[in-house]
Structures are given as structure tokens and as C-alpha cells.
Amino acid sequence: MFESEYIRRGLQMLVSGKFFDAPGLSALRMSVYRLFFEIGHETLVVHDSLFTRPHHLKSGYLKLGKHVGINHHVEIDYSGGVTIEDDVWISQYVLIETHKHSVKTRALKKNQEILLNALSIGQDAWIGANVVILPGVKKIGKGAVVGAGSIVTKDVPDYDIVAGSPAKSIGRRQETS
């Protein structure tokens, strides 16, 4: 429907204020997001979050599953494609990037090749506050936990708990008895 990135961002910015966190108005916000993205039932995106496709790129998609919670000040670059499965929590001030610039030549940045990769965040994963997920990461596994303040530079296996800069495994989620 609306193919212009400027229209997409403008409408997101219009409904991203705290005012639209109010009951009823949050449904209006989600209706605007559903114009552009595939979003599951009972998913909530709160104020000051933005989903972007930079550099006039035409590729990419954003799919949010059911019962996904995206807290305030989250920015997701979906130019490489992002799938967030059911029951994922993304805490505040998270940055997710799915593109990077090749730096192999001395050409100006604007003339560098842009490299894209798809990212999948598995069901029941939890991304802590102030996390950065860098380009090249293809998978945050099912049930994985990324600790607050981490910088994720490589894939995270299912049920792994990672933290740090760069994020490293510090444990595994155990099955309940």
C-alpha cells in the first residue's frame, strides 16, 4: 500500500508519542503499524519506537508474531528482513541492524556496497534493555535471553543466555519440572 519510506516513517512518528500509549489509542497506533507490517494478535509497540529501511532500500520485511512486546525507544532496521516470533519481549533502547556497508575499498561511504542479512528472533526470546544486535546476526534462538547492555555480534543458540560486549554465553535456560 504505502511504499514511500517517508510516509511510513512519518505515520509511525505521528502515532509513536506517549499520548498513544493510552488505552484505545494504542489500538490506533497498532492499526497504523499494521498498514505496513505483518503483526500478530495482541502484539504491542509502545512509544518512541521506529521501524526503518534506510538508504532508500526497497528490500526487507518486518513480521511480528502474536503477543510480542516492544518497549519504548526501540529501533529496528528491517532492510534485510526481520521475523520476530510469538511471545518475544524486546526491552527499551534496543537497536537492531540488518544492513552494513562494505568497507573494502576507499570509495565514499555512499558508493559502498550495502550488505543485507535476514534476522530471526525465536519464540519466547527476551532481549534486555540497551542491547545492540549488529548486522550479520541471523538468529536469536527460541527461548534465548540477551542480557541488558549486550552487543550481539553472532548468532545465539536456542535457550542460551548471553551477555556482555561482545555477547558471550553465560548459561542456559533449564526446563521446568
Does the pLDDT at position 3 exceed 80? no
How far is residue 159's CA from residue 21's CA, in Å, rounded to a whole number?
31
Q: Mind giving me the DSSP string for 87-142?
A: T-EE-TT-EE--EEE--SSSS-GGGSPEEE--EEE-TT-EE-TT-EE-TT--EE-T
35: in domain: yes
153: in domain: yes
177: in domain: no
Does the pLDDT at position 169 exceed 60? yes
CATH number of 105's domain? 2.160.10.10
> Which residues are the active-site residues?
101
164: in domain: yes
162: in domain: yes
Q: What is the mean pLDDT of residues 91-102?
A: 95
CB 57 within 8 A of CB 36: no
Does the pLDDT at position 78 exceed 50? yes
Instruction: Please state the domain count of the chain.
Output: 1
pTM score of the predicted model: 0.92
Instruction: Count the residues in the chain.
Output: 177
Helices (H), 16-98: 25-36
Q: State the amino acid at position 48 in one-letter form.
A: D
How far is residue 21's CA from residue 39's CA, in Å, rounded to a whole number?
17
Confidence of residue 7 (pLDDT cuts 50, 70, 90): confident
